[in-house]
Amino acid sequence: MNMMRRDFLKTGMAAVGAASIGAVAEGIIGKSAAAGETAAPDYKLYALKYAGPFTSSVAMVIFLKDWDKKIKRNYYIWAVQGGGNTVVFDCGVRPDFAAERAWLRASYVSPDKVLKRIGINAAEVEHLVISHIHFDHNGGLELFPKAKVYVQRKEFDFWVYDPVAKRPPCAHVSDAAAIRQLGDLKGSERLVLVDGDREILPGIELLLTPGHTIALQSMAVKTAKGLAILTSDCAHVHKSYEIDTPSCLITDMPGWLRSYTKLREKVNGNIKMLFPGHDKKMLDDYPVVAEDVTQLV
Ligand SMILES: [Zn+2]
């Protein structure tokens, strides 16, 4: 049990009292009283496409398979809402970065504009989780000026401080300006450096799932359909979970496969509740709630 959980338990009864009208309407009090636990709401999960589709070789997203075949993939951020909380998972690319790259700007919409389509004001978002420090996942940090930013300490230390992170293969997948912005948060209350697994709100837990990068984190979320996990680039496409084969963008393959074991166990084998980082199906196969926004659960 971490500090946040203890604090919640200490103040939980007062909060339940204060929020009782809304809570009764959502059936939270009845459930939590019966279970004798804190009132974790059922969250809704949204995938928001901010760029794409892009075409690449299948071998890029499925390790060494089908060099000659092509696949389309999208760039996303995700939003989770429930119990009055909004958590944004990954923050996409910042507008200046996109503007400098013709291949990206043609389909790019600033992530804050996509969030607005479902009524979320990025400037007011309080919780931003960064899965890993690649340009398409942490680049849009400046769009969330008030958010508490949750990132794994090992991931932060590597990208912000390690000179290896500036060398070509690492520089190619990162955004130096966005990394400087993130580094500047060190010492402020906005930066939360996470060591391993940690519950950040009732029903929302960060999971250390390395492999693609040194310390990529996934986010497990309680939903009406059971536990769902936003896994970002732990898999670029869902097929990776089906055939136990990640992408070719590897930091640690054995560690990566252990992360697959951990994720599968967490959802009791129900891998359809694992949501990957770039799968076009997230946009195509789920109910559309706004332009380029789908509700996953
Ligand atoms: Zn990615």
Q: For residue range 197-238, what is the model confidence (pLDDT) as tens digits?
A: 999 999 999 999 999 999 999 999 999 999 999 999 999 999
Residue 276 CA to ligand 1 center (angstroms) comes to: 9
pLDDT digits over 7-57, tens only?
Answer: 433 333 333 333 333 333 333 333 344 444 568 999 999 999 999 999 999
Compute the distance from residue 173 Cα to the ligand 1 centre, in Å: 9
Mean per-residue pLDDT of the chain: 90
Give burial (CB, 10 Å; 0-12/13-18/19+) of 54: middle
Give the model's pLDDT for residue 184: 98
Ligand 1 center–CA 8 separation, angstroms: 33
Distance 14 CA to ligand 1 centre (A): 41
Mean pLDDT of 144-157: 98
Query: Could you say which DSSP state residue 242 is in?
Result: H
Q: Say what the pTM is.
A: 0.87
How much distance in Å is there from the Cα of 171 to the middle of ligand 1?
14
Partnered with residue 279 across adjacent β-strands are 73
The CA 270 to ligand 1 mean position distance, Å, reads: 23
pLDDT of residue 6: 42
How far apart are the C-alpha atoms of 176 and 273, rounded to whole Å? 33
What is each CA distance from 5 to 8, 40, 179, 188, in whole angstroms? 5, 11, 30, 22
Q: Distance between terminal CA atoms of the chain?
A: 27
Question: For residue 278, what pLDDT is reported?
Answer: 98
Question: What mean pLDDT comes out for the span 52-68?
Answer: 96
Fold exhibited by the domain 40-295: Metallo-beta-lactamase; Chain A (3.60.15)
pLDDT, mean of residues 153-180: 98
Give the Cβ contact number of residue 287 at 10 Å: 8
Handedness of CA 215, 221, 227, 228 (dihedral sign): negative
Pairing of strands 191-194, 148-152: parallel
**Residue ranges per domain, the chain?**
1-39, 40-295
